[in-house]
Amino acid sequence: MEIEIKGGAIPGRGAIAVAVGKGGKLSPAATELDKTTEGAIKQVLRASRFSGNKGQQAEILAPRGTRLDRILLLGVGDPADMTQNDLEALGGKTYSAWASSGVKQGKIVIDSDGLASKTRLTKGAIQAHVAVGARLASYRFDKYHTKLKDEDKPTLETLTIGTRSAAAARDAFASLDRVAEGVFLTRDLVSEPPNILYPQTLAERCQELTKLGVKVEVLGEAQMKNLGMGSLLGVGQGSTRESRLVVMHWNGGRKNSAPVAFVGKGVTFDTGGISLKPAAGMEDMKWDMGGSAAVIGAMAAIAGRGAKVNAVGVVGLVENMPDGNAQRPGDVVTSMSGQTIEVLNTDAEGRLVLADALWYTQDRFKPQFMVNLATLTGAIIVALGSEHAGLFSNNDELSERLLEAGKTVEEKLWRFPLHKNYDADLKSQIADMRNIGTGRGAGSITAAQFLQRYVNDVPWAHLDIAGVAWSQKATATAPKGGTGYGVRLLDELVRRYYES
């Protein structure tokens, strides 16, 4: 689908969407259409429960007095209260209403004074967010369907955003659309099946970012062995697929300014290893590389829109398999930091991958901060479900910034505690630490506490995204499946606080 941004005139043909405020208050475009249709919109208000409340929707087919095919009424409640996310949801819902409806050309005209006036968004940005909402909703992953019938394919060819601020909106949308491309990349990677996407092929997908100006280095097992990454390598030891560590550099900032760093867990399939997971639902573990996919998508977004920042993305890519050569419960491995780990459960593998990836990142890049993303624990799903990701951090300022960015882009976070008293749970009889806690309590916190031992006091935040990387239900701006969580969050963090 093509998205174009043009003037706000009401089109002669196709479909149009207009805003209606609470209490049935018609926007200028809705007023005009109500006249041409001899009161069809007011009739809808009388004849249905649609009253212009935020999120409500009603559609008129073949409206009288015009050659339009449809008029979609979008409830906006009090227009001043519309948030960035509400605007995106509105764009997304309009897309979904028309996508497979037979409509080919649609136009959204919701210019009205005071729309989203409580945000700090400019008029152009407001329309750009409507546009990007539609873009995000239009995602599909259907490359493996060879028998899609024509009637299952989208019909909508062009979606036009009509506004008096078209030039400014186009500029703002160009940047947001690059971010949406990052989100799509993440969704694609998370959706790929694990026989297609494994460490080597995921590393190859990273290399495609060179066309955006990202420098990409791929480390193989021999190099990681030389660096002493025994913790990461132990996880991949049972797989016939070789492990990889990929480093992505975007240098958009000042020459000598320290980079921001993003680190991702990339377990391309997590069987649990010798501590094998149950069969039911194991297929979900193809998206155990969701943290790495978010980092890759964020790097694509940041580079794609030319962010004025130096950023590095580091992803640890492994496959966790049971095998004659696999790591055993009870093995002791030595991490790059020199600390030894008694591996008591081979299914607590994400932290083993991140231990070396985090240590390597702070050691080599001396970053301003590190944010790691990982589908790390089932326990975070028990605690937060799929509304918030878990935030764990040794730094209040970084935490506040992440929380704020998360609210803005509707990729919400909830902060959990770190505390030295949890460390007792990680004591090992024969090594520096064990990779699981002793009891059943606070599983997400002990995992974070483990990671903290590998950050060397650099400002750091760990985002446990196990509950949010994949969605069982569609939202206004994403079909079910890979959500792309993290891309917009990291992009917003950089946009707001770290660009020079």
Q: Which of 364, 343, 306, 491 is nearest to 428 (CA)?
A: 343
Nearer residue to Mn ion within complex by CB, 177 or 349? 349
Which residue in 107, 178, 351, 495 is the catalytic one?
351
Q: If binding is defined by CB under 6 A, does position 270 make contact with ligand BES?
A: yes
E-only strand ranges, 215-309? 215-219, 244-251, 260-270
Number of C-beta neighbours around residue 281 at 10 A: 8
Q: If binding is defined by CB under 6 A, does position 345 make contact with ligand BES?
A: yes
Q: If binding is defined by CB under 5 A, does position 270 make contact with Mn ion?
A: yes
Compute the least distance from the CB of residue 378 to ligand BES, in Å.
3
Q: If binding is defined by CB under 5 A, does position 319 make contact with Mn ion?
A: no
What residues numbered 337-376 form the site for Zn ion, per CB under 5 A? Answer: 350
Four-residue CA torsion sign, 285, 286, 292, 297: negative
Residue of 181, 192, 331, 347 that binds ligand BES (CB under 6 A): 347
Q: If binding is defined by CB under 6 A, does position 379 make contact with ligand BES?
A: yes
Rounded Cα distance, 280 and 322, in Å: 17
Q: Tokens 């009603």 label which residue?
A: 58
Which residue in 277, 407, 412, 415 is the catalytic one?
277
Residue of 271, 377, 449, 452 that binds ligand BES (CB under 6 A): 377
Give me the helices (H) in 305-395, please: 350-365, 379-384
Q: If binding is defined by CB under 5 A, does position 288 make contact with Zn ion?
A: yes
- Asked if 260 and 401 count as a contact pair (C-beta separation under 8 A), the reply is no
DSSP class of residue 98?
H
Vertex 408, ends 404 and 410: CA angle to 5°? Answer: 110
Both tokens assigned to 242:
């070789």
Q: Is 351 a catalytic residue?
A: yes
Rounded Cα distance, 415 and 404, in Å: 12
Q: Is 277 a catalytic residue?
A: yes
Rounded Cα distance, 258 and 361, in Å: 12
- Asked if 50 and 56 count as a contact pair (C-beta separation under 8 A), the reply is yes
Nearer residue to ligand BES within complex by CB, 345 or 368? 345
Q: Tokens 């780990």 label which residue?
A: 341
Residue of 188, 347, 411, 491 that binds Mn ion (CB under 5 A): 347
Q: If binding is defined by CB under 6 A, does position 464 make contact with ligand BES?
A: no
Query: For the window 297-336, what string marks contact with Zn ion as x by the rule CB under 5 A?
Result: ----------------------------------------
Nearer residue to Mn ion within complex by CB, 270 or 410? 270
Longest dimension (CA), the chain: 83
Compute the least distance from the CB of residue 370 to ligand BES, in Å.
20
Rounded Cα distance, 473 and 479, in Å: 7
Q: Whose CB is nearest to ligand BES?
A: 378
What residues numbered 288-307 form the site for ligand BES, per CB under 6 A? Answer: 288
Q: Which residues in this chain contact Mn ion in the complex, by CB under 5 A?
A: 270, 347, 349
Annotated catalytic residues are: 277, 351
Q: Which residues in this chain contact ligand BES in the complex, by CB under 6 A?
A: 270, 288, 345, 347-350, 375, 377-379, 436, 443, 466
Q: Which residues in this chain contact Zn ion in the complex, by CB under 5 A?
A: 267, 270, 288, 350
